Each structure stands twice: as structure tokens, then as C-alpha cells.
């Protein structure tokens, strides 16, 4: 059980970054359907830089930059040029998928040497197994690699940022009532750009985790729809960073439960293709449940999807 849970955390880490990335976009009032594209850009950029420099910091930086570059195109189009957010996001996904596939062609089949992957080995605390009950539970979260720790940090910092700083307050206002934020003297355009880019960088990190740690190598379409699942999970986790983490954990588990079930010798053989449908089916369920639940604490930012225009007449 414990190994399964540990793997669930690992499997869910790309989702954690992606959900937070999507969340920052939506808190700023922009529905960005390009999450998948930004993740792929980050994955391929991170892998390329890793192969070239063998430096993990540079690789992560590259992933963040390329994720943010994709987000920049989206931001320019939707914030400054006020285009339709859904279609623009889709264009970003198509572009990101194509560009990553194109770029990654020459990276196919490459692997990262041990000197690099050593940086992402899970930490181990052998004393933990001595502590009854609590020990194994804690080990699920603590005996992970540094990238996972980074995800914990991002979750906690996001929580503090959103609910305890004035920047977070202003951001929430921008997504909820852009006109009110503007009238309060907040630079709406700046807030949107900055947070869309932050979101893109985080998505890039999510993709990089896949190509640098999880797989770890480059594959076509390495994200296999995780970006879309992340968009659904933002809704499910009510745009809250702490809940985002648990949502990612849950879906990380769902993703690998298929393999787990196959290793058990069950009397009924469940075809692997049906098991692979599980995350997507679960996402559909999540959306249905989310829309049935209409209590006010679970509503999206009110100005989500509306382009802001001060001179509206």
C-alpha cells in the first residue's frame, strides 16, 4: 500500500504543477485551454537543456521559460488583442503539441546519464519505518525527490500568496470583478500578464517532471491528456491550491491503479484498455459532480472568460 501511495504522489506531481498553472490563469480571469501545449513545451525544452548541459537547474529554468513563452503568446492575444480565450487556448495546444513533437524528434531514444538522474533520486529516511503508524504515512510524503519537494513548496507558497498578501487579494479581485479591480487602481493588464506567465511556467515544470524524472525521456505526446485533466481538476478543487495538491494525489493514484490491478491476480481480468480509460472517466465524473454541487463556495471567479475593456460603451 505504502509503495502504491508513494507512486501516486510521483504520478500526481505533474498534475500538481499543471493544476496550479491553470489556477493562476483562471484566478486572473482567463480560461486557458493551452495547458497541454505549455506542458509539452516545458517537457521538451527541459529535456533538451538537460541533455546539453546535464545541469538540473538550467533544465528546470528552460522548462519554465518555454512554458511561459507559450503563455506569453496566449496572453498577448487574449489580454491585449482580446481574442476568444477558448479558441486561442486551443491554438496554443495545437502549436505546443506540434512544436514539441517537431523539436523532440531528434531527442527520441535519448536517455539521461546517471549523473543527472542522481539529482532526482527520492530521499530516504530509514528511521521513519521504525515509528509505528505515523512513520510509514509520513514516508509517503517525505521520501520523495527534490522536484516533488519543490511542488510542495509551490503549493504552500501559493496558499500564502493568494490569501495573505495584497498581491493575492488584488489578483482575486481581478478574476472576480475586473471592473472593480480597475476602479481600485489595480493595473489589470499587468496582473493578467504576470499571472498567466507564472501559470505557463508552472505548466512547463509539470511537463518537465514527466520528461526528466517520471519516464524519464522524451516521448511524443508525453503528457497524454494530463493538461486537460488539470483543467477539469481546477474546477473540482475549487481554485484552491491546497485542494489542488490532494486532487493531483488522487488522480495520480487513479492513473497507476491500472498497473497495480494488473499485478494482482484477480479472478476477472480487466482489459488494460479499459483501465487506461479510468482517469478520463473519473474526470467526467468530477465535472458532473462539480456542476451538481452549486453551493457558493465552489463557484469559479466571476469574470472568468470575459475580456476586460475599460472604454466599453
User: To 5 degrees, how large is the angle CA 92–CA 151–CA 50?
Assistant: 65
| Residue partners of 126: CB distance under 8 A and separation at least 6 | none
Question: Which one of 7, 170, 238, 262 is in contact with another protein (CB under 8 A)?
Answer: 170
One symbol per residue from 283 to 302: x for binding another protein (CB under 8 A), - otherwise; what is it?
Answer: xx--xx-xxx---x--x--x
Coil, helix or strand for 260?
helix
User: To 5 degrees, how large is the angle CA 172–CA 173–CA 179?
Assistant: 150
Q: What is the DSSP string of 67-116?
A: HHHHHHHHHIIIIIS---HHHHHHHHHHHHHHHHHHHHGGGTT----HHH
Site for another protein in 202-231 (CB under 8 A): 225, 228, 231
Binding of residue 187 to another protein (CB under 8 A): yes
Binding of residue 84 to another protein (CB under 8 A): yes
- Chain CA centroid to CA 144, Å: 18
Burial 66-86 (b: 16+ CB within 10 A, else e): bbbbbbebbbebbbeeeeebe
Residue 309 has φ and ψ, to the nearest 5°, of: -145, 110
Question: Which one of 10, 20, 92, 213 is in contact with another protein (CB under 8 A)?
Answer: 92
| 15 in Cβ contact with 230 (< 8 Å) | yes
| 22 in Cβ contact with 189 (< 8 Å) | no
CB of 23 to another protein, least distance (A): 15
Binding of residue 35 to another protein (CB under 8 A): no
Binding of residue 176 to another protein (CB under 8 A): yes
Question: Which one of 25, 48, 97, 240 is in contact with another protein (CB under 8 A)?
Answer: 97
Binding of residue 165 to another protein (CB under 8 A): yes
Segment interacting with another protein, rule: CB under 8 A, options 2-10, 39-47, 180-188, 243-251: 180-188
State which residue, 117 or 262, has the beta carbon closest to another protein: 262
One symbol per residue from 233 to 252: x for binding another protein (CB under 8 A), - otherwise; what is it?
Answer: --x-----------------
Contact residues for another protein (CB under 8 A)?
33, 73, 77, 81-84, 86-88, 90-92, 94-99, 101-102, 105, 164-167, 169-170, 172-173, 176-177, 179-187, 225, 228, 231-232, 235, 271, 273-274, 276-277, 280-281, 283-284, 287-288, 290-292, 296, 299, 302, 309-313
Amino acid at each position: 500500500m505504502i509503495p502504491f501511495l508513494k507512486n501516486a504522489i510521483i504520478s500526481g506531481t505533474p498534475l500538481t504543477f499543471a493544476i496550479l498553472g491553470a489556477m493562476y490563469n483562471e484566478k486572473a480571469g482567463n480560461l486557458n485551454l493551452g495547458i497541454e501545449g505549455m506542458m509539452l513545451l516545458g517537457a521538451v525544452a527541459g529535456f533538451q537543456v538537460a541533455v546539453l548541459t546535464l545541469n538540473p537547474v538550467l533544465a528546470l529554468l528552460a522548462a519554465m521559460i518555454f512554458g511561459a513563452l507559450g503563455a506569453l503568446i496566449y496572453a498577448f492575444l487574449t489580454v491585449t488583442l482580446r481574442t476568444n480565450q477558448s479558441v486561442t487556448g486551443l491554438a496554443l495546444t495545437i502549436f505546443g503539441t506540434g512544436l514539441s513533437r517537431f523539436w523532440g524528434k531528434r531527442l527520441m531514444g535519448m536517455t539521461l546519464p546517471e549523473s543527472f538522474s542522481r539529482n532526482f533520486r527520492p530521499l530516504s529516511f530509514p528511521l521513519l519505518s521504525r515509528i509505528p503508524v505515523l512513520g510509514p504515512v509520513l514516508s509517503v510524503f517525505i521520501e520523495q525527490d527534490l522536484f516533488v519537494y519543490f511542488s510542495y513548496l509551490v503549493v504552500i507558497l501559493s496558499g500564502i500568496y493568494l490569501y495573505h498578501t495584497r498581491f493575492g487579494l488584488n489578483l482575486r479581485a481581478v478574476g472576480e470583478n475586473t471592473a472593480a479591480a480597475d476602479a481600485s487602481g489595480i493595473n489589470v493588464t499587468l496582473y493578467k500578464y504576470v499571472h498567466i506567465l507564472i501559470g505557463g511556467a508552472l505548466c512547463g515544470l509539470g511537463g518537465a517532471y514527466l520528461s526528466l524524472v517520471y519516464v524519464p525521456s522524451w516521448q511524443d505526446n508525453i503528457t497524454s491528456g494530463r493538461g486537460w485533466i488539470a483543467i477539469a481538476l481546477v474546477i473540482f478543487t475549487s481554485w484552491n491550491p491546497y485542494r489542488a495538491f490532494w486532487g493531483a494525489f488522487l488522480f495520480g493514484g487513479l492513473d497507476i491503479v491500472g498497473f497495480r490491478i494488473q499485478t494482482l491476480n484477480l479472478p476477472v481480468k480487466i482489459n488494460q484498455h479499459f483501465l487506461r480509460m479510468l482517469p478520463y472517466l473519473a474526470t467526467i465524473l468530477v465535472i458532473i459532480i462539480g456542476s451538481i454541487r452549486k453551493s457558493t463556495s465552489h463557484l469559479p471567479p466571476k469574470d472568468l472568460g470575459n475580456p476586460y475593456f475599460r472604454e466599453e460603451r
